[in-house]
Amino acid sequence: MTTPPPDFTLETSARQSGAVRVVGVDEVGRGPLAGPVTAAAVWLDPDALPAGLQDSKRLSAAVRERLFGQIMAQADVGIGHASPAEIDALNILHASFLAMHRAIAALRVPPDHLLIDGNRLPRDLPCPARAIVRGDARALSIAAASIIAKVTRDRIMADLACRHPGYGWEANAGYPTRCHKNAIADLGLTPEHRRSFKPIRNILSAGVT
């Protein structure tokens, strides 16, 4: 059965309840062994919704890039990151929440309602919020945030790949592919690796630095 595309129902419902600035929030990069976790917050103008918005995982890189440009031109967008050091200090869940807070704070206009992908909400949000399981497949603003976060982080990892060649980050974005793990064994770790993650801890305990 074909999954229906995300729509504007959840945003419209919040607006009908009195919200004016309904913002979708999503993050990317919880699973990689290296690089930041990146979040995006996106307010979409109800009168200028970009066509073709979809969960970023369902789109090709070329389509994501095209939609990235449209969203940046037509929407209010905030982007936030948490570094590998912050991930190690806080754990990946709370680092993801930190990136979300930073993305929300980077919006030009503060939101008055948030739709956040997932089943848990960060603490101390600036306004009422709702956690939406599989939100990037349900709400257009969350889908837009997923595209912004994905393209932004992929670009960061491609840049880091130039600084740390051999790990294949331009292709694997820091995820634990065979290429990446073999490179760690051959080349060692970089400052971009998340030392709190179990595969990296195992490598450190084996004496690879």
Give all domains of the chain, ordered by start, each with its CATH number.
9-152 (3.30.420.10)
Q: What is the pLDDT along the chain (209 residues), one digit of tens a residue?
A: 567 899 999 999 999 999 999 999 999 999 999 999 999 999 999 999 999 998 898 999 999 999 999 999 999 999 999 999 999 999 999 999 999 999 999 999 999 999 999 999 999 999 999 999 999 999 999 999 999 999 999 999 999 999 999 999 999 999 999 999 999 999 999 999 999 999 898 877 776 55
Identify the pLDDT of residue 208.
52
- The two three-digit tokens of residue 32, written as one number: 């990689």
Question: Measured between alpha carbons, how far is 110 from 125 in angstroms, rounded to an integer?
Answer: 11
Determine how β-strand 37-43 pairs with β-strand 129-132: unpaired
The answer to whether the CB of 68 falls within 8 A of the CB of 166 is: no
SS3 95: helix
Strand order from edge to edge, sheet including 113-117: 76-82, 37-43, 22-28, 113-117, 129-132
Query: Vertex 67, ends 66 and 70: CA angle to 5°?
Result: 95
**H-assigned helices in 75-134:** 84-90, 92-105
Looking at residue 203, what is its pLDDT?
79
